[in-house]
Every structure is written in C-alpha cells, then in structure tokens.
C-alpha cells in the first residue's frame, strides 16, 4: 500500500531534464539535448542561454532564471521551487544550463529539491566551456611530455562561505568566471612559484559570434582583464604555448 501511494505521488509530477546547452553556440548542444528541447512544455534557462539556443524550443514556455556574478539574479531556492511547481503543471520540464549541468551548474541543489518530491530527473550532459575554448584556440589542455593533468576551478563561493584562497596545482589550470578574479589568481600562482612567463590564454564569449581570444603571460595577467565584459575563461600552463607553426 505504501509503495502504491508513493507511485501515485510520483505520477502527479512530470519529468524534469537538466540539460547542458554547451558553451554558447546553438549548434554545440548535443543531439539528445536538442531533441528533448523540441518536446519541452516549459524551459527554465540561465542568463548565458542565447536566443539562437531557445529557437530549438519555439513551442515551450520560457522562464528566465538567470544568475550572473555581481548582478541581481534569481535566488537558487526560488529556482528550486519553480522547478517543483513546473513539474506539477507540466509533463516535460527542461532546466537549461550553459555548459554542463554537473560542472559549476548548481545541479546538486536542484537535484536535492526534485528528489525530495520524488520527481523523476534525467541529466543530459553538455560541452563544458574549457573544452570548447581549447577547441576554439586550437590549444590542447594536455600535451605529451609537458602536461598530463588538468584542473577546473572557480573563485565563486556559496553565500556566507569564505572565499577560497588556495588554487589547484596541476600542469594546466582553467578558471571559470575568471574575469574579475584574474589579478588574484595570477598573484597566487606567482607566489606558488609559477614563472611569470607561463602562457595564458583568455577566451571571452567562447564559441559565440563575438568570441575574443587573448594570449598573454602570467606576469601580464597580474595587471587584470579590464576590457572583458562577457563570460571569461582563463587557461594557464605550458601546454598553452603557441606552436612554432
């Protein structure tokens, strides 16, 4: 009887998909992600989702739940509640996130909220920005004899949590949302003993029409990235040195 009641409770909700939209370009979403988007009844999407991407789902109700660093944004608790409310109202709900949902995508909070209500969830991975940036710049993040380890990190922390002061130590490190934190990142790496000549590649608006690529050295990164306004990815390491050709 208890199992029947639980099944009945679950059937009162639709299914939620957490879909990774990829780095920005509308044709870099996976085939599975595009197919589900084309069937969605409602799509809750981030600030980084482009209008071109939303053309994959003309039939769906669109709900903006953007979160941008340093700007007024939708609180995560409200997003969680909106997902639950939409699952009560619609049979196919999509939470569309830039990049991949499982990397700096706050997926854990949303999964917890949905699982607490016994709502069925499926995750569709997306191309994360670091891999798209490596492709755009034609700079592999690993290189035989030079770099065999890669770390992805962000300086952003949860509300009321202290700022992270340590950096990962890997051959190649990639900082997400690294525009404003570039100076601090460079200072800490230099203090760790990294050479001021270490190659740095900065990619702004990765994979979009207005993508911008900057090549500099770690000592120069310490001066900051004041000209960047879009989403910024900072890649650092010897593997990023320009090939002689």
CA angle centred on 189, ends 183 and 195, rounded to 5° = 110
Whether residues 6 and 110 share a domain: the answer is yes
Contact of 132 with 205, CB cutoff 8 Å: no
Helix (H, G, I), strand (E, B) or coil at 97: strand
Helix (H, G, I), strand (E, B) or coil at 193: coil
Whether residues 76 and 91 share a domain: the answer is yes
Q: What is the pLDDT of residues 14-61, one digit of tens each?
A: 999 999 999 999 999 999 999 999 999 999 999 999 999 999 999 999
Provide CB contacts within 8 A for 227, sequence distance 6+: none
Of the candidates 94, 124, 154, which is a domain's last residue?
124
Long-range CB contacts (< 8 A, 24+ apart) of 223-227?
A: 223/183, 224/182, 224/183, 225/178, 225/179, 225/182
Instruction: State how far the Cα of 221 lies from the Cα of 214, in Å rounded to an integer.
Output: 10
Whether residues 62 and 82 share a domain: the answer is yes
**The two structure tokens encoding residue 1:** 């009887």
Q: What torsion, rounded to 10 degrees, do the Cα atoms 65, 70, 76, 81 define?
A: -40
Rounded average pLDDT over 218-222: 95
Whether residues 119 and 167 share a domain: the answer is no
What share of the chain has pLDDT > 70, as a percent? 88
Q: What is the DSSP letter of 147?
A: B
Instruction: State how far the Cα of 23 lies from the Cα of 26, in Å rounded to an integer.
Output: 9
Whether residues 66 and 120 share a domain: the answer is yes
Domain-located, residue 245: no
Q: Would you place residue 205 in the very low, low, confident or very high pLDDT band (cuts 50, 70, 90)?
A: very high
Q: What is the pTM of this model?
A: 0.88
Q: What is the pLDDT of residues 152-175, one digit of tens each?
A: 999 865 556 556 567 888 999 999
Render 102-144 in DSSP notation, one character per residue. Answer: TSSS-HHHHHHHHHHTT--EEEE----HHHHHHHHHT--S-BT
Contact of 233 with 206, CB cutoff 8 Å: yes
CA angle centred on 225, ends 133 and 146, rounded to 5° = 45
Domain-located, residue 196: yes
Whether residues 145 and 231 share a domain: the answer is yes
pLDDT of residue 26: 96
Classify 8 in phi/psi space as left (phi over 0), alpha (psi -120 to 50) or beta: alpha
Whether residues 32 and 113 share a domain: the answer is yes
pLDDT of residue 2: 46
Q: What is the pLDDT of residues 69-106, one digit of tens each?
A: 555 567 999 999 999 999 999 999 999 999 999 999 99
Mean pLDDT of the chain: 90
Domain-located, residue 42: yes
Q: Are strands 232-236 and 172-176 parallel, antiparallel or unpaired?
A: antiparallel
Domain-located, residue 85: yes
pLDDT of residue 165: 63
List the domain range (segments joined by +) for residue 21: 2-124
Whether residues 135 and 220 share a domain: the answer is yes
Question: Which residues form the catalytic set?
Answer: 46, 67
pLDDT of residue 11: 65
């Amino acid at each position: 009887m208890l199992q029947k009641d639980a099944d009945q409770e679950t059937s009162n909700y639709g299914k939620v998909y957490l879909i990774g939209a990829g780095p920005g370009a509308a044709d870099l979403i996976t085939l599975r992600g595009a197919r589900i988007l084309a069937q969605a009844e409602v799509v809750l999407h981030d600030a980084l989702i482009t209008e071109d991407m939303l053309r994959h789902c003309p039939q769906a109700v669109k709900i903006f739940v953007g979160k941008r660093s340093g700007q007024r944004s939708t609180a995560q608790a409200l997003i969680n509640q909106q997902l639950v409310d939409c699952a009560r109202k619609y049979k196919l709900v999509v939470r569309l996130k830039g990049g991949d949902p499982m990397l700096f995508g706050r997926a854990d909070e949303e999964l917890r909220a949905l699982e607490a209500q016994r709502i069925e969830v499926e995750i569709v991975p997306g191309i994360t920005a670091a891999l798209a940036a490596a492709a755009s710049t034609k700079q592999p993040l690993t290189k035989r004899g030079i770099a065999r380890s890669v770390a992805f990190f962000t300086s952003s922390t949860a509300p009321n949590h202290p700022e992270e002061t340590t950096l990962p130590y890997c051959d190649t490190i990639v900082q997400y949302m690294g525009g404003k934190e570039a100076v601090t990142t460079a200072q800490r790496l230099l203090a760790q003993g990294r050479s001021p000549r270490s190659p740095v590649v900065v990619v702004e608006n990765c994979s979009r029409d207005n993508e911008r690529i900057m090549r500099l050295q770690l000592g120069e990164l310490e001066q900051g990235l004041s000209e960047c306004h879009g989403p910024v990815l900072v890649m650092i390491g010897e593997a990023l040195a320009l090939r002689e050709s």
